[in-house]
A and B are shown apart, each in its own frame.
Chain A
Amino acid sequence: MTKENKQQQPPHILENKPDLSLTVLERIEKERLEPVPRWLIMCGEYAIWGLWGTSVLFGAVAISVMLYVSMHAGFAMYEATHDTRLSFFVDVLPFLWILVFIVMALIAYFNLRKTKKGYKYPFWQIVLSSLVCSVVGGGILHAGGIGYLIDTQIGKDMPMFPSLARTEEGMWQSPSKGRILGNVTSETEDAKELIFTDMDGDKWIFNISELMSRDIVLLQSGKRVRVIGVVSSTSEMYFHGCAVFPWMFDAPVMYQNLAKERRGFEEHVEQHIKRFIDKAKFDKIPPTDTVVTVVQKQMVADDMGLCPTLPLVKRLMPQSAR
């Protein structure tokens, strides 16, 4: 401001109005107004940053659970429970955590916007920075097992919460579709039968005649297992086992276990497909053939058992073998 400006008459004098600066000063005095303390203003700023940090942290937690769910859901054996990989994916998709993440990302965005310099940055930079923080944080939390811990703990505390373990339980406890989840509770006099109690508390006479030896060892350990088979008689609660897999959600799932599970699943399916193909070969031999008798054919049919006829096995069978 120049000296000439200083000498100019302010407009209020020319217009004979009260001086605004004096009016303002009078009001400050009269109302005993004081500048808001710096610490209080800083508290507001810190609160906004704190809220941003909290929302990013919760976003990271949501990401860690999403990572846990997407990496440890039963993709290794999705064919056992679903027709397609996509339908399996949709069923295990953690919608709740995705929603939590979106809400947290929005809160983080609006908080960052409210900070002193927040308005300087374009929308995408603010969103991206919050997302990167959440994703990196989520990755670290997941690596530390937090995703598993949170999903499992909330699942235990809240009966309605769709944790991964609960979702998998729902998929596997379905006797009418040939899947049960539970453990062997006792033996019977028949060496080929055990008593199996499923998750609903139902007791099944469990036929192990078509199982591999490693399946039987797993069953006899008494641990919770997932079973693929067929209900051969509902009146007597009779379940015919075809493949047994360990229940993996009692502890963080290891990747090598998933790969092992996939191999085990494929071996079981291949074994049942082979038996089906063997029987089909016998069926194709004309009845007039003198070498193969009706008795031999019946023996092959008996040997094939129930497992090769499972819808799952038929679905995975090569087109040429059907």
Chain B
Amino acid sequence: MDIAYHVSMLRDPVDMTDEEIVNITLKEKTFFVHIVSRYEAKLGRYIERLGVRNAEDKEDVLQEIFIKVYKNLNGFDVSLSFSSWIYRISHNEAISWYRKKNVRPEGHLVFESEELLSFVASSEDGAESLFDKDINADVVAAALDSLDDKYKSPLILRFFEHKEYEDISDILKIPIGSVGTLIHRGKQQLRKKINEEHIRI
């Protein structure tokens, strides 16, 4: 065990898997910086999409996420991917943040137009027929933003974080069958909202 640890210490952390970094971090806490730098940008974008928009708030929430991750490293379930586990913690932290703040995020665009276009053009499960291609990306983003959290989170994870159904199930702690259902219903609601918005425009 110790030999494996010392050998792994000689390797470049960039080439290590998340799980290997976790194992080393449990013995040498400074290694945790590699986890932070690996996930900082991804999780930053994710919590922003979930509604943590202010830069200072985002910084605070990210800090809390990584502190929580560090404190719970021993609870990391090796049957899950580390990515799913850290996304789960981030999701919960973001949700509890805006519950604490007693706000519901809305009205700001946090989706890059490229992502939105690929979302609109997605060929999965009839998504391509969801929207009229001429619809403004702003309209799609606003509609997505106004969706109920239970639909918004699976859609964000699927189409913007590019997670598989199984990962989404692990992140949101819902049965895999429910992931499909929520994504399907989310799309329906999204279509309805976009149509309403489109008519208004």
Interface residues of A (CB under 8 A from B): 1, 3, 5-6, 10-11, 17, 20-25, 27-29, 33-38, 41, 116-117, 119-122
Contacts and interface: CB of A to CB of B under 8 A. Distances in A.
A215 B65 CA distance: 80
B75 A21 contact: no
A196 B62 CA distance: 83
B74 A38 contact: yes
B199 interface: no
B102 interface: no
Question: Interface of chain B, helix or strand or loop or mixed?
Answer: helix
Given A25-B33, A28-B29, A20 B40 contact: yes
B30 interface: yes
B169 A116 contact: no
Contacts of B174: 119
Interface string B161-189: 00000000100011111100000000000
B119 interface: no
Nearest to B62: A20
B166 to A, nearest CB: 9
Pick the 9 closest A-B CB pairs, nearest first.
A21-B36, A119-B173, A21-B33, A38-B74, A35-B73, A41-B75, A24-B66, A122-B175, A35-B74
Contacts of B54: none
Contact of B37 (A21, A28, A122): A21
Contacts, number: 78
B74 A20 contact: no
Interface residues of B, number: 32
> In the complex, which of the residues A6, A27, A37, A120 has the most CB atoms of chain B within 10 Å of its own CB atom?
A120
Interface in B2-55: 14, 26, 29-30, 32-34, 36-38, 40-41
A138 B66 CA distance: 47
Contacts of B34: 21
Nearest to B174: A119
A35 B72 contact: yes
14 contacts: A10-B40, A20-B36, A24-B67, A25-B36, A28-B70, A35-B71, A35-B73, A35-B74, A36-B71, A41-B75, A116-B77, A119-B173, A120-B175, A122-B175
Given A24-B70, A27-B63, A3 B14 contact: yes
Given A3-B14, A11-B41, A24 B32 contact: yes
B197 interface: no
B64 to A, nearest CB: 10
B78 to A, nearest CB: 11
Given A23-B63, A24-B32, A27-B67, A1 B14 contact: yes
Given A38-B75, A122-B178, 15 more contacts: A11-B40, A20-B63, A21-B36, A21-B37, A21-B40, A25-B30, A25-B36, A33-B71, A34-B71, A35-B74, A41-B74, A116-B77, A119-B173, A120-B169, A120-B175
B59 interface: yes
A34 B26 CA distance: 9
Nearest to A118: B173
A36 B173 contact: no
Contacts of A34: 71
Contact of B66 (A10, A11, A20): A20
B71 A120 contact: no
Nearest to B59: A20
Given A1-B14, A20-B59, A28-B29, A33 B67 contact: yes
A24 B175 contact: no
Nearest to B31: A25
B175 A121 contact: yes
Nearest to A123: B175
A41 B14 CA distance: 29
